Amino acid sequence: MAISVTPEAVSTILSNPSPESSSDVPDLVVQVVDLKATGTSGNRFMFSASDGERKLRAILPSNMSTEVMSGNIQNLGLIRILDYTLNDIPNKPDKYLIVTKCEVVSPPLEMEIKTEVKLETEIKSECRSEGTGILLKPKQENEIKTEMKSEGPGILLKTKQEIVAKSAAQIVHEQRENMAPAARMSMTRRVFPLVSLNPYQGSWTIKVRVTSKGNMRTYKNARGEGCVFNVELTDEEGTQIQATMFNEAAKKFFDRFQLGKVYYISRGTLKLANKQFKTVKNDYEMTLNENSEVEEAGNEEAFVPETKFNFVQIDQLGPYVNANELVDIIGVVQNVSPTMSIRRKSNNETIPKRDITVADETKKTVVVSLWNEHATNLGQELLDIAEKSPIVAIKSLKVGDFQGVSLSAISKSIVLVDPDIPEAKKLRSWYDSEGKESSMASVSSGMSPSSRNGSRSMYSDRVSISYITKNPSLGEDKPVFFSIRGYISFIRPDQTMWYRACKTCSKKVTEALGSGYWCEGCQKNEEECRLRYIMVVKISDGSGEAYFSTFNEEAEKIVGCSADELDKLKSQMEEENSYQLKLKQATWNPYLFRVSVAQHEYNNDKKQRITVRAVAPVDFAAESRFLLEEISKMRVPK
């Protein structure tokens, strides 16, 4: 039997714009006509769904674009619609068919299928019953409206069909009145998958779990002051979208949205997501206002997936340094610092901070900075159980280049302690069997200058020293980063080369009354402290020279010993000064440096400050390859 379209398929779709589920969709085979790409990204496709008599404008969502691009769905081909929804077109009487699920029935036919077209008067005679939404022909309508009076006075008998219809409507009405708001919403509105949403839809309802909730933030701009917060929502299929609320809506929904709970949401708006700031993989972002509806769905713990992680191993963090992309990590807590107070430059506000050091199976460690509630509440919990080496899984961390590679939590970061996931069980098994006895190294230490996964290879952004010194405006707005190759040409021996630091948090300490040292960060007195480098060195290359600030880790690599050890040499009284000899030995050795350039204001005078962020010995084989590559770029084409 020849494959063809379903007769009156378009009429069937129009009569049932929102089927309750895909099982309620009848057999609907239509022909794809006028298939074309739409949108700026070209990942959505429009077509006309034809049943041979009538056509309906239709859209294939972005998740089905691969079916078109692979050639499975083609113009003039036949598809079976398995699930759909019908949307209004703003300011127009037309409707759009959103095909959320379909299967290919036939490859492209030779021509468009056309059957006998209905008379215009017959099409116009179709109307909708208010109670059920079923298309009624004139003959059917007349039969329903037929009224029969019994011979007895005062009794009006109507047809069985009308009585059944009204009884069903009455039952539904009573059910709705007795239901809770969330249950009423689920019954009266069809739940849409997130992938089917677009800015041109009318009303919709989604059922989602809150998988990330940001803190309430305040802002101030030319239009005034306000507050804002956002949540990340995930539906049953794992699709995510970010929803943002401002001002009154933010105040209304901040307490209502609870992390991990499931909600029905409607009456929101969508717009194209700003790729620079979006944190989930979705072309659109959602905005909820004070008129939006948010109802909690009870007993829905298993409805949608929990927070999903995409873990990056610690030794693979390099490519993410200073990038917009956020990362997820899992590791064993090695150390938890006390809470510190950090003053923001923007508004002079003091906020709490706590650093934790974590390690994973790569035997590398990295420092994660926790802020605000993460630092005070969860950080204290970690400090209390630190000796048990808990496992933490952290979602949405920003990767910075402080001390080579560092991680920082943001408002939307999620921290789970000893999570019940396979990755945590595997990591715990490794740590208990061999990890706790293994020697761990910082991900920043020993980083190869040509590292494939290093923190911004020493061969990227390579400049000469004169390029920096001859451009005094560099770093005016924000710090800029470069790589240079040079020599330590001079270290002034009479400079203040170190400071007394707390052994716990590394902040500066002062001599306490009586004995010991007082740490303002830890708010406690310690008997001993340690010395940490903070010195200035002169670095030279073939183009010039400049003074660079260096801190403890980088200075130790340059000098070749710790600040405590150098202090002991300085205190020794010998004919040949071991202290000056040690500094002399540190000069005229070639290094590769990763540096930052920023503006520093002193006595109302702005000057450049060049800071060494990472240092590595020259790998001459890699340096030769780099130079050959640079030379090849200089060749003039013949």
- Spatial distance between the Cα atoms of 194 and 205, rounded to a whole number of angstroms: 10
pLDDT for the residue numbered 151: 44
Whether 390 and 206 have beta carbons less than 8 Å apart is answered as no
User: How far apart are alpha carbons 418 and 314 in whole angstroms?
Assistant: 18
Q: Give the pLDDT confidence of 12-59 residue by residue, as tens digits.
A: 888 888 777 777 788 899 999 988 877 555 667 889 999 988 999 888
Q: With contact defined as beta carbons under 8 Å apart, do 369 and 408 qualify?
A: yes
Residue 198 in this model has a pLDDT that exceeds 60: yes
143-157, 223-237, 449-463: segment of lowest average pLDDT: 143-157
pLDDT in tens, 519-534: 887 778 888 899 999 9
Rounded to two decimals, the pTM is: 0.44
Q: What is the pLDDT of residue 137?
A: 44
Q: Comparing 300 with 407, which gets the higher pLDDT?
A: 407
Mean pLDDT value of segment 258-267: 90
Question: What pLDDT is recorded for position 144?
Answer: 39
- pLDDT tens, position by position, 300-353: 666 655 667 889 999 888 777 777 778 899 999 999 988 888 877 666 788 899
- Give me the residues paired with residue 525 across strands: 518
Cα–Cα distance for residue pair 503/509, rounded to 1 Å: 10
Q: Are 59 and 45 in contact (CB under 8 A)?
A: yes
**Does residue 185 contact residue 206 with C-beta atoms inside 8 Å?**
no
Question: Does the structure show a pLDDT above 50 at 171?
Answer: no
Helices (H), 225-355: 247-253
Which DSSP string do the residues of 496-533 spell out, in sequence order?
--EEEE-TTT--BEEEPSSSSEEETTTTEEES--EEEE
The mean of the pLDDT values for the chain is 79
pLDDT at 549: 92
User: Which range, 113-127, 190-204, 368-382, 447-461, has the best average confidence (pLDDT)?
Assistant: 368-382
- Tokens for 234, please give them: 């995930």
In this predicted structure, the answer to whether residue 239 has a pLDDT above a threshold of 90 is: no
Judged by DSSP in three states, 289 sits in coil
Decide if 205 contacts 266 (C-beta within 8 A).
yes
The pLDDT value given to residue 120: 37
Asked if residue 396 lies in contact with residue 412, where contact means CB atoms within 8 angstroms, the answer is yes
Distance CA(490)–CA(485), nearest Å, equals: 16
Strand stretches in 78-141, DSSP E: 78-88, 95-106, 127-128, 135-136
* β-strands 217-221, 480-490 pairing: unpaired
Comparing C-alpha atoms, which of 290, 328, 309 is closest to residue 234?
309
List Cβ neighbours of 496 (8 Å cut-off, separation of 6 or more): 534, 535
Model pLDDT, residue 541: 93
Cβ atoms of residues 518 and 536 within 8 Å: no
CA atoms within 13 A on the CB side of 140: 11
Residues 6+ apart with CB under 8 A from 517: 500, 502, 509, 510, 511, 525, 526, 527, 528, 529
Instruction: Convert the pLDDT of each residue in 458-501 to its tens digit.
Output: 666 789 999 999 988 888 877 888 889 999 999 998 898 999 98
Q: Produce one character per residue of 548-573: b if its CB has 16 or more CB atoms within 10 Å, e if not.
A: bbbebbbbbbbbeebbeebeebeeee
Q: pLDDT band for position 445 (50/70/90)?
A: low
Whether the per-residue pLDDT at 159 is higher than 50: the answer is: no
Which residue matches tokens 């379209």?
5
Predicted pLDDT of residue 115: 74
Give the tens place of pLDDT for each residue, 113-127.
887 544 333 444 444
**What is the pLDDT, as a whole number, of residue 523?**
78
Q: Residue 287's pLDDT is what?
A: 94
Going by pLDDT thresholds of 50, 70 and 90, the confidence category of residue 282 is confident
DSSP one-letter string for 421-470: SHHHHHHHHHHHHTGGGSPPEETTTT--TT-TTSSS-TTSSB--HHHHHT
pLDDT at residue 475, rounded to an integer: 81
CA dihedral 215, 221, 223, 229 (to 10 degrees): -10
Place of tokens 């926790």: 370
Q: Which CA distances in Å does 42 have to 37, 39, 340, 434?
A: 5, 5, 49, 51
- In this structure, the strands spanning 530-541 and 524-526 are unpaired
Which residues lie below 8 Å from residue 633, measured CB to CB, with a gap of 6+?
none
Residue 378 pLDDT exceeds 70:
yes
What does the CA dihedral 529, 530, 536, 537 come to, rounded to 10 degrees? 170
Written in H, E and C, the secondary structure of 154-213 is CCEEECHHHHHHHHHHHHHHHHHHHCCHHHHHHHHCCECCHHHCCCCCCCCEEEEEEEEE
